[in-house]
A and B are shown apart, each in its own frame.
Chain A
């Protein structure tokens, strides 16, 4: 859109050319620095992963003597595979659970009228206002009482359903016209079938967004997995990586290598789900 501006301006003989170009320059500059700010940590992570230990504290972006030694070390160290699998299992199961339960609860809160509906919704929303740091204590006590410490279930249970996901799904279900659900009701589907076969496909973009959020959130989760696990074989990648190095020194080059490898699944998840994020899916079945 902005690219046609100079042509149209020159045809109209003028005056606004400069301000428009200035505006454009400012916009490009903001985008440029924004982009740099976002890409720098990633570049720095990869750069560090290619450095020898003695060079780690040099801030140069290009390593003097690039090496893949760190990658060989991390990949040959059997622990990394275990952490990787732990993270993969936990993030995948949690994502599936959130997609199912957040949408089920969101759908119910959105499309059914029952006494106490608003109260339930407010209760769910209020969980968003409590920071994780405050929740870990009750979570820990709960895990201790139920014997969930140092287990997959212990790591996963706080995130299997989230207030944020429920809220997101409820808001998206608001955009699904009741006509679809009523048509399905007349066509003989029960309420669970309507949710699954009619409503869920209509909110695919929201499900995709939720899947990305939840997967990333769990993939990068650090505090709670660190607290609830003791056995190294239950560590997730962030917890495991933090242990690289010894008491005297942190092996940043290995941590960065592990971090670089661990971004690959998140990219894959994003690539898989982003294609579902297409606007206007819901509208296609309505008046045109």
Chain B
């Protein structure tokens, strides 16, 4: 086990820079999830850590040792791929044993290790099978087994769940989390799914266009987003973004309300007001917006309301049993402590 340090990591293909100086410290045993939309550089970062791509500048340290110029096999890492990449011509056992090829352990020790891993992953009965006789979830477990058997300093997961169906994904998510609690290795996990990021991570790294937008615990990034990108990326449905203006005593949202939120230290002028749909409710809290319900999405315990207001369409949440109907006029209210303010131009969070 080991910590991982990314120091001003830059990756460019020709003149096109993909990563623009990534800095990150990952503690020993930490579960860190990289999340972001396609093309944000998260997989590239992972491949740089693995040594599958050469870094343009900067440094990567694993366990206090700079690994920039080391081959993947010398970095003490293991990687699980999105496509699983288990060898179709080898049995499950051989696939798992493949990870031990370069190990100097005796045959008996290797066998013991394979059985141990198969036991943890509940695959003892499947060891003699070929990959084409396995389900998607089982194949993914073989891929994880092949990584686990080497007991690497750092596990790298490259969107390992995105090829599984929704139910299996939830199940594997839980299994990987339990596995981490059990083996305790450092894990870097890449995904584009913010639910995976929120549910699994000790810390989330949110990336966009080759820059880290925010690093923090799931609570941090959800409740204290650093900018409008993080605010809208994390949480489903996305946070409502409404134009507002800092005025005497608070923030005015259109002509409808002045929210008395703390504005000390901020100059008067336009701001972006962020309110999560969960915090925007009909007839509760401080009134913010008025509008007409255009679409209702009943989810059982609660109903999502799409409300057309003077500030554009917003999404609110109502109690499922007493939700307004399409066409109803509603007054939406909010608990002022949950209101986020962002700079209107840069999108950076203003609330401290």
Tell me the A residues contacting B by CB distance below 8 Å: 177, 179-180, 182-189, 198, 201-202, 204, 281-288
Count A/B pairs, Cβ under 8 Å: 81
Comparing B1-9, B74-82, B257-265, B295-303, the segment that makes contact with chain A is B74-82
Q: Do residues A287 and B102 form an inter-chain contact, with CB atoms below 8 A? A: no
Q: Please pick, from A186, A188, A283, A285, the residue contacting B87 in the complex, using a CB distance under 8 A.
A: A285
Comparing B108-116, B133-141, B273-281, the segment that makes contact with chain A is B133-141
> 9 extra interchain contacts, Cβ-Cβ under 8 A, other than A187-B99, A284-B88, A287-B82?
A182-B85, A183-B79, A183-B81, A187-B101, A198-B87, A201-B89, A285-B85, A285-B88, A286-B85
Closest Cβ neighbor of B73 among chain A residues: A188
Known: A183-B79, A186-B78, A186-B79. A287 touches B136 (CB 8 A): yes
A182 and B101 alpha carbons, distance in the complex (Å): 15
Interface 0/1 of B83-122, CB less than 8 Å to A: 1111111000000001101100000000000000000000
A217 and B102 alpha carbons, distance in the complex (Å): 41
Question: Does B317 interact with chain A (Cβ within 8 Å)?
Answer: no
Question: Does B267 interact with chain A (Cβ within 8 Å)?
Answer: no
Question: Does B284 interact with chain A (Cβ within 8 Å)?
Answer: no
Question: Does B50 interact with chain A (Cβ within 8 Å)?
Answer: yes
Known: A186-B73, A187-B73. A202 touches B88 (CB 8 A): yes
Which residues of A sit under 8 angstroms from B50, Cβ to Cβ?
A: 182, 186
A186 and B71 alpha carbons, distance in the complex (Å): 8
A288 and B163 alpha carbons, distance in the complex (Å): 8
B165 CB, nearest partner CB in chain A, Å? 11
Q: Do residues A186 and B72 form an inter-chain contact, with CB atoms below 8 A? A: yes
Question: Does B131 interact with chain A (Cβ within 8 Å)?
Answer: yes
Q: Please classify the interface of chain B as helix (H, G, I), strand (E, B), loop, or mixed, using the class held by over half of its residues.
A: loop
Which residues of A sit under 8 angstroms from B99, Cβ to Cβ?
A: 187
A182 and B78 alpha carbons, distance in the complex (Å): 11
A163 and B79 alpha carbons, distance in the complex (Å): 37
Closest Cβ neighbor of B132 among chain A residues: A284
A188 and B131 alpha carbons, distance in the complex (Å): 21
Question: Does B146 interact with chain A (Cβ within 8 Å)?
Answer: yes
Q: Do residues A287 and B131 form an inter-chain contact, with CB atoms below 8 A? A: no
List 10 A–B pairs whose Cβ atoms lie within 8 Å, in order of A's numbering.
A184-B98, A186-B72, A187-B98, A187-B150, A202-B88, A284-B130, A284-B132, A285-B139, A287-B84, A287-B139
Q: Do residues B102 and A188 form an inter-chain contact, with CB atoms below 8 A? A: yes
Q: Which of B123-179 contact A (CB under 8 A)?
A: 130-132, 134-136, 139, 146, 150, 163
A190 CB, nearest partner CB in chain B, Å? 9
Which residues of A sit under 8 angstroms from B163, Cβ to Cβ?
A: 287-288
Q: Please pick, from B101, B131, B139, the residue contacting A189 in the complex, using a CB distance under 8 A.
A: B101
Which residues of B sit under 8 angstroms from A183, Cβ to Cβ?
A: 79, 81, 85, 146
